[in-house]
Amino acid sequence: MKRALFSSAVLLLSVFAASAGETEPRLSNVPDWAKSATWYQIFPERFRNADAANDPTREDLEIPFLPGENWQITPWTRDFYVRDEWEKDIGGDFYENGVFHRRFGGDIQGVIDKLDYLKDLGVTAIKFNPVFYGRSVHKYDGNTFHHIDPNFGPDPAGDFEIIRNGGETADPATWKWTAADKLFLELIKKAHERGIKVVIDGVFNHTGRDFFAFRDIRMKGGQSEYGDWYYIESFDNPATRRNELRYKGWAGFFTLPEFRNTEDGSDLHPGPKKYIFDSTKRWMDPDGDGDPSDGIDGWRLDVSEEVPDKFWRDWNGYVFTLNPNAITVAEVWNNASEYLKRTGFSATMNYFAFSVPVKAYLIDNSIKPSAFGKMLDERRVQLPVPTQLAMWNLTDSHDTPRLAQMVVNRNRTGQYINAEKYDYDEATTVSARDNDKYELREPNAEERAIQRLITLFQVTYVGAPMFYYGVEAGIWGGDDPDCRKPMPWPDLQMEPEKTDPRGRPRPEDDANFDTELHAFYREAVALHAANPAFKSSEFAVLAADDEKNVFAYSRGDGSDLRVVALNRSNEAQTIQFASPAGEVFFDTNGGEVAKASRNGDKVELTLPPLTGVVLK
C-alpha cells in the first residue's frame, strides 16, 4: 500500500509541477466569456422529465428501506404540499423524512429538450447542480465522479451494471462510458451549438457510501487498498455479527464519508487527489485529444473551504492547463477576497458582495440607499476587476428560499438583522419548516414589483447575473425542500397550490407558468446582453437619497454610458442628479411610465412607486 501511494505521489508531482508554489490567481483564470455571461442554475431532478422510462425506483433512494413498498414517483403537476400515502406512512409532518424521499424524474433529456427555451431567454451559461451518480435527490453524496447518474440517462439498468460490476477502479484505463455519460456529452455538444457554456458541480470533500473506494472498504475492511482514503476510526470485523465500521462523515452525516487529508493537513490525500484530477480531465476533454471543445467549460465547487488550499492551487492550475478558457467558481458565503488569492479560483458565488446588500436594501428595505451604495463599493473593490466581472450575482439558489418568498417574508421592522448573512442562520426567517408565521403563498402585485426591481439591479450591476431555474416562471417557496419544486412548464397544467404544509389556512394560488413575469425576465436579460455598459467594471453612485429611498448609479462611460435609478419607496418620487443620460428606455413598471426631463446638466426623474428605470 505504501509503495502504491509513493508511485501516485510521484505522478502527482509531475502533473502539478506547473502550478506548484502559485498562490496568486492569474488574470487568464477569468475567461472573457465569463465576464459577460448570463447564468442559469438547473437542479436536474426538478427541471424536466422527458423520459419516464428512466425514473428512479425505490431501490435507488438514499435510504430505500424507509419508504414503504407503496412508494412511487411524485406527480410533477400536483400541489407541492399534498402528501402521498407512502409519505404519511413514514410519519411526522410534511417536513419530516417523506418529502426528502420524493423523486419527480427530471433527466438530461429534459434539459436537452429545453435548450432552445434557455437560448430564447438569453441564457449563455448553465450551472448544473450535481449530475454524478448519487442516491440523494441533491446528489452531493457522489458515488462516482466519473459517471453521470444512471437515472438521468436512457438506460439505468445497463449503467448500474457497469458502475457496480464493470470492474472499474481508480485507474481511468478501467473506466467505461455509460449511456447517461454519452447523453450528457450530447447535451454539452448541443449546448455549445447554441452558444451556451456548461459548468457542473464538484464535491471533492466527501463521497457517498457507494463510492467505489468506500464500497471496497465496506467489503474488505482493513484489507482494502483504499483504506487510507478516508478517516476510518475502526474497520468492520467480519467475525462478528455487529458492523464495527466507524468513520468521519461530513458535518456528522454517516451517508457522507469524508476524504482524508495529508498528515500535515495541507493537501488532500494523494489517492483521492489523483482520482479527482483524472475525473476532471475526463469531463474537460472527453476524447482525450487535447482539444477541450467537447468538454465542460468549468466547475462550481461545493464546500470548497473544507478542502486544503494547496489542493485547490494545484487543481485550478491543472484545470486551466486543460482549458485556459475554463472557469472555476467556489462556494464561499463570506468575504472571499483573500481566499481567491490563496486558491486561484476564477470567482465565487457572490453572496457577500451582492446578495447580502441586495437583501438588506431591495428586499428587506432595512438599510438606507447611502448605506447600500457604501456596502456595494467596499465589498466589490476588494476583488480584482476581472474577478468582479465574473462573480455570480445570484438572488437565490438551492440553498436559500426562493426570491419571491424572500420578498413575501421580507423584514418589515426597518431594522437590519444579521448583517453578514443572506440565508439567515435563524430558521424562523427562511422556512415554514420551523416557523408557523412564515408565509407560503404567491406574491401579490406589490411583491412582484419588488422582484422586478431586484432583477433590474441584478442585470445592471457589476458581475454576471445568475438565475435559479423557475424564478422567471414565478416559482415561490421557502428554504429546502420548498425551493426545489418542479418547473411549471407552459405545456403543463399545474394543480392550484392550496395546501399548507403546517395545516394553516391559506389562499388558493395559481402555480402555472407565469407568462407575464417570464416576458419581463426575457427583456431584462436582453437589456444586459445589448448594452456593453452592463458588462463593464465602471460603476458610480449618482444619487442615494435616504429620505426619498431612491438609488441611482451609472454604468460604463462615453457613448456606452447607462444610468439606472431604483425607487424602493411605496410612493412616487422625483429626484435630480447630474448625468449626460436622460432618456428612459427601460422600465420595470407595467403601467405608469417614469418621466425624465433635463435641467441644465442635471436630469429630473419622476419614478412611480417600486419602479426601476434605465436611461441613455
3-state secondary structure string across 144-179: CCCCECHHHCCCHHHHHHHHHHCCCCCCHHHCCCCH
Q: What does the pLDDT read at residue 508?
A: 97
Assess whether pLDDT exceeds 90 at residue 394: yes
Q: Measured between alpha carbons, how far is 566 from 552 in angstroms, rounded to an integer?
A: 6
By the 8 A CB rule, do 299 and 318 touch?
no
Question: pLDDT grade, residue 16 (50/70/90)?
Answer: very low
- The secondary structure of 530-558, three-state, reads HCHHHHCCCEEEEEEECCCCEEEEEECCH
Lowest mean pLDDT among 152-166, 424-438, 449-463, 599-613: 424-438
Q: Measured between alpha carbons, how far is 469 from 41 in angstroms, rounded to an integer?
A: 6
Question: pLDDT grade, residue 440 (50/70/90)?
Answer: very high
Q: Measured between alpha carbons, how far is 255 from 64 in angstroms, rounded to an integer?
A: 13
Question: Residue 196 is which amino acid?
Answer: I
State the Cα angle at 132 between 131 and 138, rounded to 5°: 60
Q: Measured between alpha carbons, how far is 438 from 34 in angstroms, rounded to an integer?
A: 37
Fold entry, domain 536-616: Immunoglobulin-like (2.60.40)
Cell 447564468 belongs to residue: 39
Question: pLDDT grade, residue 420 (50/70/90)?
Answer: low
What's the residue count for the chain? 616
Question: pLDDT grade, residue 198 (50/70/90)?
Answer: very high
- The secondary structure of 302-370, three-state, reads CCHHHCCHHHHHHHHHHHHHHCCCCEEEECCCCCCHHHHHHHCCCEEECHHHHHHHHHHHHHCCCCCHH
Cell 470485523 belongs to residue: 237
What average pLDDT does this structure show over 194-205?
A: 97
Q: HSE-up of 146 (CA within 13 Å, CB side)?
A: 27
Closest C-alpha among 313, 211, 327, 319 to residue 271 = 211
Question: pLDDT grade, residue 11 (50/70/90)?
Answer: very low
Q: Where do the H-state alpha helices sit in 435-504?
A: 445-460
Q: What does the pLDDT read at residue 434?
A: 83
Cell 450575482 belongs to residue: 393
Helix (H) / strand (E) element for 183: namely helix 179-193
538: left (phi over 0), alpha (psi -120 to 50) or beta: beta
Q: What does the pLDDT read at residue 600?
A: 84
Q: Measured between alpha carbons, how far is 42 from 222 in angstroms, rounded to an integer?
A: 40
State the Cα angle at 336 between 299 and 525, rounded to 5°: 60
Q: Measured between alpha carbons, how far is 579 from 298 in angstroms, rounded to an integer?
A: 39
Lowest mean pLDDT among 250-259, 444-453, 513-522: 250-259
503: left (phi over 0), alpha (psi -120 to 50) or beta: left
How distant is the alpha carbon of residue 436 from its chain centre? 27
Q: What does the pLDDT read at residue 415?
A: 56
**Mean of the per-residue pLDDT values of the chain:** 91
Lowest mean pLDDT among 7-21, 82-96, 452-466: 7-21
CB proximity list for 174: less than 8 A, separation 6 or greater: 166, 167, 168
Q: Where do the H-state alpha helices sit in 381-444?
A: 385-390, 403-408
Q: Measured between alpha carbons, how far is 222 from 243 in angstroms, rounded to an integer?
A: 13
Q: Measured between alpha carbons, how far is 494 from 76 in angstroms, rounded to an integer?
A: 8
Q: What does the pLDDT read at residue 593?
A: 78
Q: What does the pLDDT read at residue 323?
A: 97
Assess whether pLDDT exceeds 80 at residue 214: yes
What average pLDDT does this structure show over 269-283?
A: 98
Residue 96 to residues 354, 397, 434, Cα–Cα distance (Å)? 33, 22, 11
Q: Measured between alpha carbons, how far is 72 from 467 in angstroms, rounded to an integer?
A: 31
28 vs 584, higher pLDDT: 584
Residue 350 to residues 200, 466, 570, Cα–Cα distance (Å)? 17, 10, 28
Q: What does the pLDDT read at residue 594?
A: 85
| Residues 108-144: tens digit of each pLDDT | 999 999 999 999 999 999 999 999 999 999 999 999 9
What average pLDDT does this structure show over 177-195?
A: 98
Assess whether pLDDT exceeds 80 at residue 28: no
Assess whether pLDDT exceeds 80 at residue 591: no
Question: pLDDT grade, residue 423 (50/70/90)?
Answer: low
- Tell me the CA end-to-end span of the chain in Å, nearest whole number: 67
Q: Measured between alpha carbons, how far is 420 from 545 in angstroms, rounded to an integer?
A: 24
| Residues 75-92: tens digit of each pLDDT | 999 999 999 999 999 989
Q: What does the pLDDT read at residue 304?
A: 94
Q: What does the pLDDT read at residue 161?
A: 97
Residue 86 to residues 73, 96, 106, 520, Cα–Cα distance (Å)? 11, 13, 21, 40
Q: What does the pLDDT read at residue 370?
A: 97
**The three cell numbers locating residue 151:** 437515472
**The three cell numbers locating residue 33:** 466569456
Residue 346 to residues 271, 280, 573, Cα–Cα distance (Å)? 26, 16, 40
| Residues 468-513: tens digit of each pLDDT | 999 999 999 999 999 999 999 999 999 999 999 999 999 999 999 9
Assess whether pLDDT exceeds 60 at residue 145: yes
| Residues 307-353: tens digit of each pLDDT | 999 999 999 999 999 999 999 999 999 999 999 999 999 999 999 99
Q: What does the pLDDT read at residue 97?
A: 82
Assess whether pLDDT exceeds 80 at residue 559: yes
What average pLDDT does this structure show over 2-25?
A: 36
Residue 341 to residues 23, 163, 379, 387, 428, Cα–Cα distance (Å)? 6, 38, 15, 11, 35
Q: Which residues of 395-424 are buried (b: 16+ CB within 10 A; e: fewer)?
A: bbbbbbbbbbbbbbbbbeeeebeeeebbbb
Q: Measured between alpha carbons, how far is 61 from 71 in angstroms, rounded to an integer?
A: 10
What average pLDDT does this structure show over 173-187?
A: 98
